[in-house]
Structure formats: structure tokens, C-alpha cells
Amino acid sequence: MHKPLHVLTIIALLASTTVCAQQADHNGMRYKWVDGKGLPHFSDSLSQDAIKYGYDVVNDQGMVVQRVQRQLSPEERAAAQKQAAQQAAAQRAAQDRARADEQMLSAYPDEAAYKAALQQALANMDQQIHTSRLNLRSQEQALTELLGRGAEFEHNKQSLPKSLQDGIAKQRGVVSDLQALLQRQQALREQAAQAQTQQLAHYRALQAEQDEQP
């Protein structure tokens, strides 16, 4: 006995719907990954092992349509974050240098102007050194006078008053501090002079690049 036509139609529609639903669930995609032993695996669903080792999403033709890296350990994640931060810092530093170079070329259009600015910076440091030397000389003279007074007491076989002892000790500290300050200023001046040699070379290189631009 033949089944009515409309029954066959319903059965065909149900079968078609089931196939479509299965295709929709998988979306025509599979997951491929290699485990810790180097063995390949395929799956229609995303497993924890795939997430752990990293996986490829492949289509019905076996072509990779997406590659997902393996899950990082906390240590690896921290290292990756550190590296990303270092790269970002280096990029910001490069941008800052480029900005500073642009400002320098804008402020000093020729080498003579730039040299004058460098010389002025050294002149300011020289003035500070000169002031420190004068101050040191004055404080050394004050210490010499205190020591002279102390020598008079010793010559007269008298003990030094405590106030004079304290004054000499304090003045020696002042002289020592000024000597240290003068040494630092002189060292900084020498470093500045050396740095200016490099800065001038850098300025000349930037000018050359600017002149080569059309």
C-alpha cells in the first residue's frame, strides 16, 4: 500500500531539517591540535586539551581558517606582559626622542645657534663653580683664623675653650662640604662637556637628514 504523497513530503522535510541542524551545530568546522607527545588530534567540539596546547580551526576542505595559541602558564603570561610593557616603554621613549629632536631643530635652525646654547650652558656651570670657589676660599680663611686662635691658646699652654673647639669642628665641616660640592660641580661640568660633543654630532646628523629630504 502506497503512502500518501503528503506523508512522504513531511518525512523528507524532517530529514532535511535534521541534517541542517547538524550542520548548524558544527558549522562545518573542526578543531585540530597536537598534544604534549606530538600526537595530532581532531574533534568536532572544543576540548580542554585543545585549549591547553593550542589549536587550529579547519573547514570542511581541511583548510585552517583560524589559529589559536596555546594557553599560557601564569609565569609565561607574566613574562609576556613584562615584554609587552618593555616594548611599549621603548616605543614611548623613541617617540619622545623624535619629538625632542624635532623641537631642537625648530629651536636651533643652524649649528651656530645650537653651539651658542651649548656654550651658554657650560658658562652657567662655570659661574656656579666660580661662586663655590669664592665661598670655599672665604670659609677656609675663617677656619684659618679659628685655628690661629687655637694655636695661641696652645702656645700659652692654655686649654682651648669648648666654644672654640666646637667652632673649629663646625667650620671644618663647612669647608669639607664646600670642597665636596666643588668636586661634584667640576665633575658635572666635565660630563656636560663630553655630552655636548655627542649632542653636537647628533644635531649635525639630524641636520644632514633634514637637508637630504626633498
Per-residue pLDDT tens for 123-159?
999 999 999 999 999 999 999 999 999 999 999 999 9
If asked whether residues 85 and 50 sit together in one domain, one would say: no
If asked whether residues 120 and 198 sit together in one domain, one would say: yes
Please count the other Cβ atoms lying within 10 Å of the Cβ belonging to residue 55: 25
Distance CA 214, CA 79 (A): 44
If asked whether residues 81 and 173 sit together in one domain, one would say: no
Cα–Cα distances (Å) from 8 to 11, 16, 20, 42, in that order, read 5, 12, 18, 37
Percent over 90 (pLDDT), the chain = 59
If asked whether residues 169 and 179 sit together in one domain, one would say: yes
If asked whether residues 86 and 158 sit together in one domain, one would say: no
The distance of Cα 148 from the centroid of its chain, to the nearest Å, equals 57
Average pLDDT on 34-50 reads 84
Query: What is the enclosing helix (H) or strand (E) of 82?
Result: helix 74-107
Reply yes or no on whether the pLDDT at 92 is more than 90: yes
If asked whether residues 142 and 124 sit together in one domain, one would say: yes
Query: Given this model, what pLDDT does residue 8 score?
Result: 39
Say if strands 40-43 and 55-58 run parallel, antiparallel, or are unpaired: unpaired
Reply yes or no on whether the pLDDT at 71 is more than 90: no
- Number of domain units in the chain: 3
Query: Given this model, what pLDDT does residue 38 score?
Result: 84
Reply yes or no on whether the pLDDT at 13 is more than 60: no
If asked whether residues 161 and 185 sit together in one domain, one would say: yes
Reply yes or no on whether the pLDDT at 182 is more than 60: yes
Q: What is the DSSP letter of 31?
A: E
If asked whether residues 149 and 170 sit together in one domain, one would say: yes
Q: pLDDT category, 27, cuts 50, 70, 90?
A: low
Please count the other Cβ atoms lying within 10 Å of the Cβ belonging to residue 212: 7
Q: pLDDT category, 113, cuts 50, 70, 90?
A: very high
Distance CA 50, CA 154 (A): 92
If asked whether residues 208 and 112 sit together in one domain, one would say: yes
Indicate whether 96 belongs to any domain. Answer: yes
Domain that holds residue 82: 73-107
If asked whether residues 49 and 36 sit together in one domain, one would say: yes
Reply yes or no on whether the pLDDT at 23 is more than 60: no
If asked whether residues 130 and 115 sit together in one domain, one would say: yes
Average pLDDT on 167-179 reads 97
Distance CA 197, CA 206 (A): 14
If asked whether residues 112 and 50 sit together in one domain, one would say: no
